[in-house]
Amino acid sequence: MALSREQVAMRVAQELKDGYYVNLGIGIPTLVANYVPAGIEVMLQSENGLLGMGPYPTEAELDADMINAGKETVTAIKGAAIFSSAESFAMIRGGHVDLTVLGAFEVDQNGNIASWMIPGKLVKGMGGAMDLVAGALNIVVTMTHADKYGNSKLLTDCTLPLTGVGCVKKIVTDLAVLEVRDGAFHLLERAPGISVEEIQQKTAGKLIVNGIIPEMVFN
């Protein structure tokens, strides 16, 4: 079966390394805060001006003034800092974010990402995505492998307006983990119970499959 939103977040959390400064985008990426591996320290950044974001709050911890970029209530860990969005974007644009995790409408085999608008539909704005994909040292995209009509979101070339060019390194979908390099998607892992053949059918871009592809493991 395809992964749930929570399982995608759990797999993305395995990409976190001790000492990382990590920006979490709106949607599935914010769930990663609940699954930071034990034994490591990371500083999670919310672009509205919070560094040191913790898991979602319990009812007892709820503070309506403590929110992330998606206007969801969050917690702050020991050592957290709160500052203006201008300082937050100075951190992003200055290359001080080790990893950013964000969603996307499309990613293509050259690492281009389209995540901020669909022509003809209401556009709220690109948010901080363009700054993040330009300034972060590494980018992981979370997305469903195909849209609700079964059309692949992993393409030869993006069809929607681009957010960034040649910037995506790794993708975690509800079906697979893929690395983008040398003009192709390289299949690294598959969701438990999902076959390589299904992933191939739902990947429109060039897909490289080398050897036996292991299933994802959740600790």
Which residue is catalytic, options 15, 41, 47, 87? 47
Q: Is the dihedral of CA 39, 19, 51, 69 positive or negative?
A: negative
User: Would you call 47 a catalytic residue per the annotation?
Assistant: yes
Q: Is the separation of the CB atoms in 100 and 168 below 8 Å?
A: no
Torsion region of 19: left, alpha or beta (phi above 0 gives left; psi -120 to 50 gives alpha): left
For residue 110, give every residue at least 6 positions away whose Cβ sits within 8 Å of its Cβ, in sequence order, or none: 157, 166, 180, 183
- Per-residue tokens: 78: 């020991």
Q: List the one residue out of 147, 115, 150 whose CA is nearest residue 134.
A: 115
Active site positions, annotated = 47
